[in-house]
Structure 1
C-alpha cells in the first residue's frame, strides 16, 4: 500500500506507525502488528497503532524514532520478530539458550518489541526466574550491545546496592572516601526502579548526572571518580528499557537484577566490585538464606565476566538514613560528609568503603578519611566537575513545603519500621520525579514512644500529592508501635 509519510509526536521512544482505521482495515493490520516500510531504497519496521483522528486516510504517521522516513512509502504487513517466540517460550518456563537471549536483547535494543511484548518478557522472568546459565548469557548479551569503557588501570573500584531499604544512599559517601584514598571509581548508577530514589536521582539534587563518555573521562581524570547516570552514556542500554517495563509493576527479579548490575559494571570498566545485599522483613531479599544464594550467584556471574565480585550481606529491616526521597537523602549524605548526619548511614558507608578498599588492596581507613574532611573535599570536587555548586551545605537542601507529620496514637515500643511501606508512601508523595518529595523518619526499631510522638513526616511539592500520601498512610502502618508487654511477646 502506497501512503504519504508524516511525522507525529505522541511522546514515545517506540517506533510506532499510526495508520488511519480505513487504511489499517484494507491492509489487514491490527494494533501491535508490524508493518514493513520501504522508502528511498531502504526498509524499516514499525509497530501499528490504529487511529481515526491523528492521521488521515492515505497517510501514515511516523513517531520520533522514524522521523527520518519521508515522502511516499510502501507499507506491507510484516511478521513478529523471532524474539517474540523466545519470550513465549520463557512464559512456558522453558530455559532459553544463549542465542535466544541474545536475540531478545538485540530486539529490545533495536526497539523491535512492543511495550506489551517487553512487559511479557519482564513478567516471564519474574514468574519463572532465570537459571545461572541464562543469567550469564543474558549479562554478556546486555553488555555487548552497548558501549564499554576502559580506564587503563589494573584496579577500578565499584559498588552497588540491590536496594529495597529506605534511605540507603551510601554510594556518594563511599565514592568520596574511595577516590580520596587514590582509587579510580567511575560510578555509573541507575535511576530508581522500585525505590523513591536511586543514586542518580540523589546526585541530580547536587549536579548534572548525564554526560558523554568523553565528559566522564575528563571528570574521572580530574577527580578519580564520578557519580553519573549510566543510561546517558549507552552502557548496557537494554537495561534501561527493561527497567522502564519493570517500573509500573514494581518488580526486580533476581536473575534480571544480576544481569542488570553486572552488565553495567562490566560496561563501565570496573574490575573490583562490592555488592550490598540487604535482607530482612520488608527488604527485597527477606531471608538470610536467599541473600547468601543471591551473593553466590553474583560471584559466579562476576567470575564468568572476569569481574572480581565480593558481597556484603547487611540487615535491611530498618531504614538507613532519616530521609527517603532525592532531596532528603541528599541532605543526609552531605550531613554525614560534614561530620554529622544519621549514625546508621555513616556506619554502613564506612563499613562498605573499608570493604571495598580492602578488596582493592588499599591499606587505608574509611573512618580516618571521613573524619579528616578529605571525603567531603573530594565530594565537592566531583560535584563541581559535574557542573554543581561545590559550596552547598546540608541545611540548604529544603524538602517539599507541603507536609504533614504522622504521630503515635499509643505509647509503647517501635517493633518494626517497614521499608516497603515507607517507600510506597514516598512514591505516592511524588518521589523520585518530584525531587523534594519524600519522608523524614523520626523513629527506629526498639525506640520508646509516647502518645503523640512524631513517627514520620511526609513531604510533597503539591497539596494533591500530599493528600494522596495521607490517604495511603491511613491504610498502612510503616512504624509499628506496640505496648512493652506486646513487644516482648512479638520478639519471642
Structure 2
C-alpha cells in the first residue's frame, strides 16, 4: 500500500505510526502490529489505529520517525523474534546469550512496543535473572552503546543501588576524590523509584547533558564531572528500560546489576565502590540479601574487568534532611561548607575513604573535606559544567506550597520509613518538580512532644501539595510511640 505521510506529535519515544481504520482494515493491521516502511531502506513502526487523527491514505508518523517523508510504500512486518524470548522469560525459563542479545538489540532499535518492554521488565521482576544471564545481559548492554576511555590508569567511580531517601552523597564523594588527584568522570542516571537521582540533584547546580568531547574537556579541566549518562549514549538500552520501570516503581536485582555495571564499564571506570543500603524500607531488606547481592555484583564486575568493592550500609532511614532535587542540593552544599546533616557527612566521608583506598591512594577523605579542598573542587566542576560556582545553600529555595506534619503525642521516634517518605516526595511532584519534596525534622530515637515538627512537605502547586497531604493522612512515615510502647517494640 502506498501512503502519504504527516508528522504527529504525541510525546512518545516509541516509533509509532497512526493508520486510518479503513487503511488498517485493508492491510489487515491491528494495534501493536508492525508496519514495514520502505523509504531509503526499511524502517519499522508500531501500529496505532484511529478514525480521526489521520485521513484515509495518510500515515501519521511520531517523532522517532519524523525523518520518513511520503509518499511511501508500507506493508505488514513480522513480530521481532525477541518477543518470543520475552514470553520465554515470562514462563521462568533461563535465556541463552543470543536471546538476551536479541532483546537488547530490539530495545535499542525501538522495535518493541511499550507493552512488550513492560512485559520484559515484569518478567525479570517476577522471575529474576541468573548470574549467568546477568553477566551476558550486562555485556550486551555495554556493547550496544558508546564507551569512554581515559589515559589515566585508574578511573574511580561510585554508585548506590538507591532506595534511601536523601542519599545524596555522590557529589560530595566526587569532589573529595577529584581533589585527591584521581580521575572521576561520574555519569549518573535520573530517578527510577526515588524522588531524585544524582543527575536530577546536580541539575539544580549546572547542566548535566554533554557530548563525549565536552565530558572529556570537563574532566581534563576538573579531574571529574557529574553528568547524565543517558545524554551520551552510554548503555542507552538502560535508559529505555528505566523508562519502563519508572511507572511500576520496580528495580529487580539482576536488571539493577546490569544497569549499574554496564554504565560503569561504558564510562571507562576501572575501580568502583557500590553502596548497598539495607533495612526496612530499603530496596534490600536483610543483611544476608545485601551480602549476596554484593557478591554477585563483584562477580559481574570481574566479568567486565572492573574492580568492584561494595559498602553494605544501613538504609533504615534517610541520609540527610532533604528529599527531592533542590532540598538535597542544599544539604550537599551545607556539608561541603563544613555544616549540614551529620549523617550525610559521615556516609560521604566513609565511602570516599573506601574509594581512595580501593584505588590505592593514601589520603584522608575527612581532611580533604574539612580543609575546603572538596568545596573548591565542587565549584570547579560546577563552573566547568556551565553552572554558578558561587551558589550558596540559601540561594536554593524549595517550592512555595508547604505543609508541616506535627506530632500528636509525646514519646519517641521508633522508625523512619524510607519508602513512605519517597512516596510522599514523589506525590508532591519530585523529581519532575525540582523544588518539591520533603524536609525531615526527626530521626529514630529522637524524643518528641505534642506539636513538634516531624516533616515538611514542599510542592510547586497547591494541587500537588494537597495530593501529598492526602497520602500523608493515610501513612505514618515517622512513627512516634510512647516510651513504654517503644520498649515493647524493641523487644
TM bin (shorter chain): over 0.9
**In structure 1, what is the equivalent of residue 62 of structure 2?**
63
- Superimposed CA distance per residue, residues 129-161 of structure 1 (whole angstroms, 9 cap, x where no aligned partner): 000000000000000010000002110000000
**In structure 2, what is the equivalent of residue 184 of structure 1?**
183
DSSP-derived class of the 1:433 partner: coil
**In structure 2, what is the equivalent of residue 12 of structure 1?**
12
**In structure 2, what is the equivalent of residue 450 of structure 1?**
449
- Superimposed CA distance per residue, residues 244-268 of structure 1 (whole angstroms, 9 cap, x where no aligned partner): 0000000000000000000000000
**In structure 2, what is the equivalent of residue 373 of structure 1?**
372
DSSP-derived class of the 1:71 partner: coil
TM-score (norm 1): 0.99
- Superimposed CA distance per residue, residues 59-80 of structure 1 (whole angstroms, 9 cap, x where no aligned partner): 1111111112112212111110
**In structure 1, what is the equivalent of residue 282 of structure 2?**
283
**In structure 2, what is the equivalent of residue 438 of structure 1?**
437
Distance 1:466 1:449 in 2: 25
- Superimposed CA distance per residue, residues 361-380 of structure 1 (whole angstroms, 9 cap, x where no aligned partner): 00000110000000000000
DSSP-derived class of the 1:354 partner: helix
* Alignment map for 1:392-411 (pairs within 5 Å): 392-411=391-410
- Name the Cα RMSD after superposition: 0.6
Q: Which moves more between the two structures, 75-84 or 308-317?
A: 75-84
Q: Is 1:159–2:158 an aligned residue pair?
A: yes
Distance 2:438 2:8 in 1: 40
DSSP-derived class of the 1:414 partner: strand
Distance 2:67 2:208 in 1: 29
What is the CA distance between 1:50 and its match in structure 2?
0.5
* Alignment map for 1:18-97 (pairs within 5 Å): 18-40=18-40, 42-97=41-96
**In structure 1, what is the equivalent of residue 202 of structure 2?**
203
* Alignment map for 1:154-303 (pairs within 5 Å): 154-303=153-302
Distance 1:144 1:380 in 2: 34
- Superimposed CA distance per residue, residues 263-306 of structure 1 (whole angstroms, 9 cap, x where no aligned partner): 00000000000000000000000000000010000000000000
DSSP-derived class of the 1:147 partner: coil
Distance 1:274 1:75 in 2: 50
* Alignment map for 1:106-145 (pairs within 5 Å): 106-145=105-144
- Superimposed CA distance per residue, residues 148-182 of structure 1 (whole angstroms, 9 cap, x where no aligned partner): 00002110000000010011000000000000000
TM-score (norm 2): 0.99
Distance 1:197 1:6 in 2: 37
DSSP-derived class of the 2:4 partner: strand
DSSP-derived class of the 1:328 partner: helix
- Superimposed CA distance per residue, residues 212-242 of structure 1 (whole angstroms, 9 cap, x where no aligned partner): 0000000000000000000000000000000
Distance 1:330 1:280 in 2: 25
- Superimposed CA distance per residue, residues 361-414 of structure 1 (whole angstroms, 9 cap, x where no aligned partner): 000001100000000000000000000000011111110110000000111010
Q: Which moves more between the two structures, 162-171 or 9-18?
A: 9-18
Distance 2:162 2:43 in 1: 39
What is the CA distance between 1:38 and its match in structure 2?
1.5
What is the CA distance between 1:5 and its match in structure 2?
1.8
- Superimposed CA distance per residue, residues 166-214 of structure 1 (whole angstroms, 9 cap, x where no aligned partner): 1100000000000000000000000000000000000000000000000
What is the CA distance between 1:436 and its match in structure 2?
0.3
* Alignment map for 1:269-418 (pairs within 5 Å): 269-418=268-417
Distance 1:394 1:138 in 2: 41
Distance 1:39 1:195 in 2: 42
DSSP-derived class of the 2:435 partner: coil
Distance 1:469 1:385 in 2: 37
Distance 1:70 1:232 in 2: 27
Instruction: Point out where structure 2 has 5 or more consecutive residues left out of the alignment.
Output: none
The runs of at least 4 aligned residues of structure 1 exceeding 2 Å deviation read none
DSSP-derived class of the 1:404 partner: strand
- Superimposed CA distance per residue, residues 86-143 of structure 1 (whole angstroms, 9 cap, x where no aligned partner): 0000000000011100000000000000000000000000000000000000000000
Distance 2:465 2:67 in 1: 43
What is the CA distance between 1:4 and its match in structure 2?
1.2
